[in-house]
Structure 1
């Protein structure tokens, strides 16, 4: 089983063919970053259209058993998710409505403070707001996984504390291994593990060590260091792999509608634009090669199975059945 908990960009049949060739069981695409309710519903409609048009390759999945069925018949499961909660537009009832439409993952905040809590890029992390606590509880009730990949550490710890179900950091790395605002502290990873959550190791160059971008073994060693912190039952893969992201797409991710100023996201003035894909992951079809790298650094077959997909499947089943 091969599960990637976060990818983004412009998906099309070429992307689906690459995922199918790579043997993926399930992928979570990013349906939105800054969009409101209507635009977010449009995105769901677009993905349903793509499912119909590419039904020989993909299937939208809603339950853990749907993912198991994809493993049996060789289709790629698509688990719908967003990297922000703007789609709720301050309405607690919309959590359940979006769950009914098939959404299974919501990141509490993207790169800015919002009504729910603090982002990793704010100078001060506010923690969860009162509304944020309500949404976290409602997401657990409705069966939507809480993602804290871009939230601040304080907000993430609050989410772990207030959620009745385990949460996730779908695409980040340990800050103790690669210091960056987008990466998560050891305190977060310990709390995540203690409550049954999972972190997905990211392969996005701006937040990933150079060695882990250069070779499969280097990335496997990053995974091993993450396992040393969080435990083998709480680490998976969340590559943050992006498809066909041009300057216009990158500007939308970083700027949305909230600013006219230059924004770098996880980049910097020294690395302001697009970054190269990892040398070992030039295309998504190569992710399955990581299994061999994990064995090379000492993981057993059972442990490799957990990291490559089993831990995500367990978490998904806990959160949405």
Structure 2
């Protein structure tokens, strides 16, 4: 069993069949980046149609038990998530409403500062806003996992402190292992470990680097070094793999509607387009290499199980439930 903490792109039936062939039983899917409430509802509607049309190979998961059941049935559980809080449009009550529609993971900010918190790409991380604290409290209450993957380090630390439940960095790596604005400081990783949070280690070359994008053993070496920082209970998988993306998709993901110019996101002018996939991860089916790769760098079976699925299931159990307070 394997859970991928985040993937994105245009999923189709082939995506689900190949994910299953890769040993994946659960995956957080990206339902939006810059979209507002109405567009986000459209996206959720399209996801429901997709799952309904492919119910023999996929299902929507609202609880950890749904993921486990999907694994037993030979299906892939899609966990609905958004990479930005734009879907709330400044309305606190929409948090609960989207949670009731099945949304389980929401990132506080994407690549730009918003009315909740500071982004990793801003020159100055503004920290968590008052509205951000309100949204975190409401996400805790409604049963949504707080994601800080593209959030600035200062804002992330404040989110960890403000949240009554553990939070996640669903798709990033340690900045001390590969320096990049999208990656997280050791202070953040240690704070995740101390509070029961989880980081999903990414396989996106732009934030993983060429060395850790080599053979599977080298990527698993990165995971082992991340465990040294955050602890074995706080490290998992979040590949950030994209499905069926084309140039317009990358433009939307990076530039949305906020600029007339060119923005490269995690890429650069030297490497502007689609980043080459890791050497070990040329196709979705290659995910089957991860368990043996983890054992090859010294993890026991129990430890490998925590990284491949156990840590996500534990975190989802603590966060995917509505509470009264």
TM value normalised by structure 2: 0.98
Q: Which runs of no fewer than 5 residues in structure 2 stay unpaired?
A: none
1:265-293 C-alpha deviation (Å, 9 max, x unpaired)? 00111111111111111111211211101
CA distance in 2, matches of 1:217, 1:251: 33
- Pairing 1:1-321 to 2, within 5 Å after superposition: 1-321=1-321
Corresponding residue SS for 1:208: helix
What is the CA distance between 1:210 and its match in structure 2? 1.4
- Matched residue pairs, number? 321
CA distance in 2, matches of 1:304, 1:45: 36
CA distance in 2, matches of 1:31, 1:132: 21
CA distance in 2, matches of 1:71, 1:52: 18
What is the CA distance between 1:168 and its match in structure 2? 0.1
1:123-157 C-alpha deviation (Å, 9 max, x unpaired)? 00001100000000110000000000000000000
1:177-227 C-alpha deviation (Å, 9 max, x unpaired)? 000000000000011111100000000000003122111001110000000
Corresponding residue SS for 1:7: strand
Question: Is the 1:23–1:74 Cα contact (8 Å) retained in structure 2?
Answer: no
CA distance in 2, matches of 1:16, 1:129: 38
1:249-276 C-alpha deviation (Å, 9 max, x unpaired)? 0000000001001100001111111111
- Name segments (4+ residues, structure 1) moved above 2 Å: none
Q: Which runs of no fewer than 5 residues in structure 1 stay unpaired?
A: none
CA distance in 2, matches of 1:281, 1:275: 12
Corresponding residue SS for 1:171: strand
